[in-house]
Amino acid sequence: MKTEIKASTHLAPVSAVLVSCGDAQDSDIVTIAWAGTVNSEPPMVSISVRRSRYSYELICKTGEFVVNLVPEDMLKVLDGCGVVSGRDTDKFAKFSLTRQKCAHVSAPAIAECPVSLECVVRKTVELETHVMFIAEIVGATARADWAEGGKLRIPDGELIAYVQNRYVTTGETLGTYGFTAKK
Ligand SMILES: Cc1cc2nc3c(=O)[nH]c(=O)nc-3n(C[C@H](O)[C@H](O)[C@H](O)COP(=O)(O)O)c2cc1C
């Protein structure tokens, strides 16, 4: 039997990603757990950002951001970018990260992250606590050993997932899409 619990943001596991934003003059990185895939063609993602974040100001100004996927060996960076603000800290410098020029947006990607998705905001949804930016992925880059013939190949267990307030490993493959229907 299940027992009633508080209705809340219990969806889990979710991605925890580093979103870089701004431009050559002023850039920032923000840790985001409220992110998701929202459309296939064109490929689109959403991120929900509180109005108080410095990154919110930059995304509103430029209409662009980069979603950077985070491997386990960058766990401290993932958490660290979520507890200091770009208003008073250059997070690229603080966490020894490299700004990587993007081909399709003016926001910098994070060179140390294995995958970067270059995004252009198409819709902005004003919610109560957060603003949801719905954005088209207009370009993507991946580390050479994660790319095969132009396609992304994420190795088992490399990326971090987020469950409640815990960072967890993504472990081993249990099955693949539609495996129950395959003969
Ligand atoms: C694991 C984790 C997930 C977070 N997810 C979000 C999120 O989805 N949206 C948000 O607005 N803030 C989120 N935050 C908080 C921001 O990352 C944090 O307030 C950050 O310092 C804001 O930086 P900024 O002022 O440079 O934008 C998260 C923090 C952590 C540690």
CA of 5 to the centre of ligand 1 (A): 25
- pLDDT value of position 54: 98
Strand partners, 66: 20, 118
Q: What pLDDT digit, counting tens, does each position of 92-137 carry?
A: 999 999 999 999 999 999 999 999 999 999 999 999 999 999 999 9
- Report the predicted TM-score, pTM, of the whole model to 2 decimal places: 0.98
Q: What pLDDT digit, counting tens, does each position of 59-97 carry?
A: 999 999 999 999 999 999 999 999 999 999 999 999 999
Rg of the Cα atoms in the chain: 17
Alpha carbons 177 and 108: distance in angstroms, whole number: 33
pLDDT of residue 49 exceeding 90, the answer is: yes
CA of 82 to the centre of ligand 1 (A): 4
- pLDDT value of position 168: 98
Q: What pLDDT digit, counting tens, does each position of 12-32 carry?
A: 999 999 999 999 999 999 999
Decide: 79 in ligand 1 pocket, CB within 6 A.
yes
pLDDT of residue 182 exceeding 90, the answer is: no
**Which structural domains are found in the chain, ordered by start?**
14-181 (2.30.110.10)
From the CA of 49, give the closest atom in ligand 1.
Answer: 11
Decide: 30 in ligand 1 pocket, CB within 6 A.
yes
Q: What pLDDT digit, counting tens, does each position of 136-171 carry?
A: 999 999 999 999 999 999 999 999 999 999 999 999
Decide: 132 in ligand 1 pocket, CB within 6 A.
no
**Residue of minimum CA distance from atom 19 in ligand 1:** 82
Decide: 113 in ligand 1 pocket, CB within 6 A.
no
Alpha carbons 61 and 146: distance in angstroms, whole number: 32
Q: What is the mean pLDDT of residues 36-56?
A: 98
From the CA of 58, give the closest atom in ligand 1.
Answer: 27
Alpha carbons 169 and 47: distance in angstroms, whole number: 22
